[in-house]
Structure 1
Amino acid sequence: MESIHFKYFESPIEESIFETNHEKHSCFFCGKSDFPIAELDDSITIIANENIDEAKSICLKCLSDRKYGFVQEIEHDALVTKEGVIIKADHSSHTKKSTYYTSYILPIEKQLDLIDKSKPLELIHTPPFRAWQGAKWLVHCNDFMKYIGTWQHEDFLKNAPNNNAEEYYENICLYGGDDLYESQFGPNKSEYANCTFYAFECLTCKEKRGYIDNI
């Protein structure tokens, strides 16, 4: 299985929006069909220094060569846009008074303020991962985390320091839920399970975090 290796993405190509170019679509930027390709739609916003209104297909090589980039979403609705500018969400005064804001959102926003200016530029030149409701990059140690793939029960078990997969899930999941692990990821999960867990690793301390998404 072919893997993609970027600073903030290390996972099989199937986890990205790119795919092996069996149908030989041509890249908008280089005109070639030799590299993994992504078909553009309304869920993907690309950034380039040229008119991209007619762009339909883009290749992984041109992303690596920084001929274009992606607008990337960060946890708690922040965005990384053209030239690596971080735009934080405009939270209401009511939200800012909440315990959730002070406990979860504010600490992340403070980390975003401390991120070196070169890092957002690196992130926009990173392949987005496939996500049902849009890919969101997580933050740790004043940096974006590296996407390392989707996880199932075996992955939680392998990474849990005390071999307790469910407890480990509860500790690292951004959005948890009562009995969610057992029904969606556990060894006896429901036949109707439809959640996906996107896993990330901190580049500095190697701590894992992640969040869930569903159809």
Structure 2
Amino acid sequence: MATTFAELGIAFPLFEAPVDASDYVGTANCCICQTDGVHCFPLGIGTAVMIPCSVCGVVNALDIDSKASIRCRECGETITFPASVVDRKEPKTCYQCLRAGKVALTKDTEFGMVSWDQAFSGVTNGIPGLQQDQFESVMINAEEDWVGVKLPQDIMFELLRTPKYRTWQGERWLFCCRYPMTYLGEWHHDQFNQRASDGNGESLYYAALEDVPDDTWDSLGHAVNAYVFECKQCGRLRAHWDFD
């Protein structure tokens, strides 16, 4: 049976899938706290390191990809990108630093992208023509009908402190009961059959994947991939899909 993060002693509230469904890299040196032999995750495109301003103390997000210094968003003081990250060809963060919010892993969601900047503002980056009724919508660009969603900051920061999951065509974190759902992993026929109360995994598959074509069950696990989430409040399953 595949190992989970909880079994490694590094549980994530929003990630219950097997470890190999994530971008976890094993034990290594954390470039944030400089600790050796700790559970680590890569810091690549779409991630940021959080640095407090030496003058005013306000926390600023510095983009890992550009590795550029910035001006403090509060007082304008120069925030220098940490040398411990600049010097690494493949920088990594440990579980403790990730959960403490010392780094932020950008997520794509069904309501648009959530980076540290979006979490700070409380509004997702949005999606063209987005229609939803769980939260307040915010028109970001009327000409392009680009609509963001106003989310509680605490759940946005929780997403940023959660590992990414592997897909063929990109993640899309799903919501239910006004909260991010917990990722269970990529499912095949066996998982759907085992979870279905009547053993009819095919019926559960089509109920969970709201927009999947009707003739895709037989292709599941081959050309079609299903990424399954569970609501911890109501027990509902939802999923998104792609193909390789």
TM-score normalised per structure 1: 0.77
Gaps of 5+ in 2: 6-10, 52-61, 68-85, 138-147
Structure 1 residue 140 corresponds to structure 2 residue 176 = yes
2:50 aligned residue: 49
Deviations 1:74-106 (A, max 9, x none): 115x12221623325252xxx4xxxxx6xxx32
1:11 aligned residue: 17
CA contact 1:166–1:182 (8 Å) conserved in 2: no
2:115 aligned residue: 81
- In 1: Cα distance, 2:103 partner to 2:95 partner: 10
CA contact 1:132–1:214 (8 Å) conserved in 2: yes
Larger RCO: 1 or 2 (CA < 8 Å, sep 6+): 1
- In 1: Cα distance, 2:210 partner to 2:48 partner: 28
Structure 1 residue 169 corresponds to structure 2 residue 205 = yes
User: Pairwise mapping of residues 1-215 of structure 1 onto structure 2 (< 5 A)?
Assistant: 1-4=2-5, 5-21=11-27, 24=28, 26-42=29-45, 45-50=46-51, 51=62, 52=64, 53=67, 54=86, 56-76=91-111, 78-82=112-116, 84=119, 85-91=122-128, 95=129, 105-107=131-133, 110=136, 115-185=151-221, 193-215=222-244
- In 2: Cα distance, 1:144 partner to 1:41 partner: 23
1:117/1:33 CA distance change after superposition, 3 Å: same
TM-score normalised per structure 2: 0.69
- In 2: Cα distance, 1:86 partner to 1:154 partner: 38
2:140 aligned residue: none
1:125/1:41 CA distance change after superposition, 3 Å: closer
1:48/1:132 CA distance change after superposition, 3 Å: same
- In 2: Cα distance, 1:107 partner to 1:79 partner: 18
Cα deviation, residue 160, structure 1:
1.4
CA contact 1:115–1:143 (8 Å) conserved in 2: no
Gaps of 5+ in 1: 96-100, 186-192
1:196/1:33 CA distance change after superposition, 3 Å: farther
What RMSD over aligned residues (CA atoms) do the two structures have, in Å? Answer: 2.4
What secondary structure is seen at the aligned counterpart in 2 of 1:107? coil
Structure showing the higher helix proportion among its residues: 1
Cα deviation, residue 211, structure 1:
1.1
1:118/1:28 CA distance change after superposition, 3 Å: same
Structure showing the higher strand proportion among its residues: 2
Aligned residues: 191
CA contact 2:50–2:104 (8 Å) conserved in 1: no
Cα deviation, residue 2, structure 1:
3.3
